[in-house]
Amino acid sequence: MASNILHFHSQENQEIIVVVVPFPAQGHLNQLLQLCKLIASHNIQVHYVTTMTHTNQAKSRVHDPYSFINNNNIHFHELSTPFFNSPPPNPNSTIKFPSHLQPSFESSSHLRKPLSKLLTVLSSKAKRIVIIHDSLMGYVVQDFVYLPNAEAYAFHSVSAFTLFLFIWENMGRPFDIDANFLKDVPSLEDCFSPEFEKFIKLQHDYMKFNSGRIYNTCRVIEGPFLDLLSKEQISNNKKQWALGPFNPVLVQQYGTKSCHKQHECLIWLDEHEPNSVVFVSFGTTTSFSDEQIKEIAIGLERSEVKFVWVLRDADKGNVFAKDHQSRKIELPKGFEERVKDKGIVLRDWAPQLEILAHSSVGGFMSHCGWNSCMESISMGVPIAAWPMHSDQPRNTVLVTKILKVGLVVKEWTRRHEVVTRGMVQAAVEKLMASKEGEEMRNRAMDLSGALKNSVAESGIKNMELDSFISHITRQT
């Protein structure tokens, strides 16, 4: 941390300093790290600030890591916080919210003091400091209000659709909206643990200090919901910017760069036909029971569709902590041998964005975390949605009913049931080998094309980013 501050006077454009404070869970860490690069590309100093373990986690998993590590405008900080418990996930839990991460979430509150110190130092060196923090880190950043030249913006890591509904319902539905948007929207029951609901409420008490909101979405996919969010009752006339997609939309295959070893699954994908492989991955907060894993395996095998399956337990709070009784996830006897020409099972971290960008991949079976939805839509890949918790059930409605770029594997009303092999097989077959699946793929490709246009010089995403940059670098 000290060296970052010492080096900092040698950089250009030090009038404005941006400080980014992510929430310590993978989907959140990644989205805000990607945003750092977008802001840094405008030659603005960006400081990415979280605990040592979470800084390392974000850097080690990001797409194209060297473009971050070697970026002179991005400074990584590793603040110390007390030890926290990092228990394993419970694969048998009926509620899929990752309660085992709660100690890590609670521990992040200890960032308040060291962050406040850092902000004070940076504040004295800059004309203005701009704090962009996850909406779940309001408590941690609160002391910025004592600095004369600081302002803060809340980043919401969920879709505009989900966020709008959340705020609108909390306000008691203050105005009418198109009834079509409400069809099929499930309640929030079982989406969060009670402890996490408390945590969210605490963070929201600090929202009043913010100057505006930032979203990882784009007008071309969520225009109507961005309009609803900008209604005065919801926005309080504060500014908002849809700066997504944060992830790159034009992904170069690493293999073409000699310095980087291509992941084994990308080499495997090279051997297959366009749109012939389904990518199966449920993010970093899902742990399945042994029974559920068996049903997925047999369903995939019976579909006879080729697959890349990322089979891993949910992250622990500290992903680097040694775990002596780590779970060995068992597959049905002989499964891997039987399917060896059809699919591969990955048990470690997988380069998701590159996999989705690969032309052989034609579908994504996903938990529908927002980071995954944005990556999939950016790459034109339709989704078989199997939501687990948090915003995922509602993202599923957005993806399948509103954008129509996917289908539902498991309805949220059946959340306590095991998904059978037959359901897995039917979903994969429909997504990969039916006329309806083809139509979803075509719509996903159209959205991907629109997103690619949005990042062009005069595109809407680029204009929003320019507008945000002009705002934070304004003279007055």
Q: Which of 449, 467, 461, 41 is nearest to 250 (CA)?
A: 449
Contact between 276 and 306 (Cβ < 8 Å): yes
Q: Rounded distance, CA 58 to CA 31, Å?
A: 10
Nearer to ligand NAG, 205 or 290 (CB): 290
DSSP state of 313: P
Q: Which is nearer to ligand NAG, 90 or 420 (CB)?
A: 90
Nearest approach, Cβ of 407 to ligand NAG (angstroms)?
A: 29
Residues that bind ligand NAG (CB under 6 A): 90-92, 289-290
In the complex, what is the shortest distance from the CB of residue 193 to ligand NAG, in angstroms, rounded to a whole number?
Answer: 17
Residue 110 CB-density burial (10 A; 0-12 exposed, 13-18 middle, 19+ buried)? middle
User: What values do phi and psi take at 74, rounded to 5?
Assistant: -110, 125
DSSP string, 139-188: HHHGGGGGSTTEEEEEEE-S-HHHHHHHHHHHTT--S---HHHHTTPPP-
Which lies closer to ligand NAG via its Cβ, residue 24 or residue 91? 91
CB of 282 vs ligand NAG, minimal distance in Å = 17
Q: How many CB atoms lie within 10 A of CB 293?
A: 18
Provide the CA 338 distance to its chain's centre, in angstroms: 34
Q: Is 341 a catalytic residue?
A: no
**From the CB of 373, what's the least distance to ligand NAG, in Å?**
29
Query: Is the CB of 56 or the CB of 289 nearer to ligand NAG?
Result: 289
Tracing tokens 């060995």 back to the chain, one arrives at 328
Q: State which residue, 330 or 466, has the beta carbon closest to ligand NAG.
A: 330
Task: Identify which of residues 161 and 288 has a Cβ nearer to ligand NAG in the complex.
Answer: 288
Say if CB 336 and CB 328 are below 8 A apart: no
Query: Cβ-count burial of 404 within 10 angstroms (0-12 exposed, 13-18 middle, 19+ buried)?
Result: middle
Query: Considering beta carbons, is residue 90 or 235 the nearer one to ligand NAG?
Result: 90
Out of 28, 42, 263, 358, the active site residue is 28
Largest CA distance in the chain: 68
The answer to whether residues 375 and 385 touch, using CB atoms and an 8 Å cutoff, is no
Q: How far is the CB of 388 from ligand NAG (least distance, A)?
A: 17
- Residue 327 CB, shortest distance to ligand NAG, in Å, is 7
Per the structure block, which two tokens stand in for 262?
């291509």
User: Comparing C-alpha atoms, which of 285, 259, 270, 253 is closest to residue 387?
Assistant: 285
Residue 104 CB, shortest distance to ligand NAG, in Å, is 19
Neighbours of 396 (CB within 10 A): 27
- In angstroms, the CA 54 to CA 439 distance is 40
Catalytic member of 134, 313, 315, 391? 134
Q: Are strands 16-21 and 128-134 parallel, antiparallel or unpaired?
A: parallel
| Active site (annotated) includes residue 28 | yes
Least gap, CB of 433 to ligand NAG (angstroms): 34
**Shortest-Cβ-distance residue relative to ligand NAG:** 92
**Helix, strand, or coil here: 128?**
strand
User: Which residues have a catalytic role annotated?
Assistant: 28, 134
